[in-house]
Amino acid sequence: MWPHVYGEEMKKTPILLIAYFVWVSETRVDAYLDPGSGSMLVQVLLGGVAGAAVVMKLGWERFKDVFRSSKAKQTDPNE
């Protein structure tokens, strides 16, 4: 509204309101994690690492081509 009047208080208000509503709406939850949950978490982490490795492997040649000169591209024995 009037930033010269309220200043920093207007910036803090939404954060304080969100924190208040999260604190007020807190309820007790009885949750159960079966033994398979840990196994699934490990599989998700390993799958993410494997996916990142594949993306890096596929993009490595493009990355190297950015820094390679045009003369080196013409005399490259690998192609």
Domain span at 22: 3-27+35-74
- Give Cβ neighbours of residue 35 (< 8 Å, ≥ 6 apart): none
Residue 6 has pLDDT above 70, yes or no: no
| Within a domain: 79 | no
Buried b (16+ CB within 10 A) or exposed e, 45-62: eeeeeeeeeeeeeeeeee
How many domains is the chain built from? 1
Q: What is the pLDDT of residues 26-79, one digit of tens each?
A: 777 777 778 788 899 999 999 999 999 998 888 888 888 888 766 655 665 565
| Within a domain: 69 | yes
Q: Greater confidence, 17 or 33?
A: 17
| Within a domain: 17 | yes
Residue 70's alpha-carbon distances to 59, 66, 67, 77, in angstroms, are 19, 10, 10, 14
Q: Greater confidence, 16 or 76?
A: 16
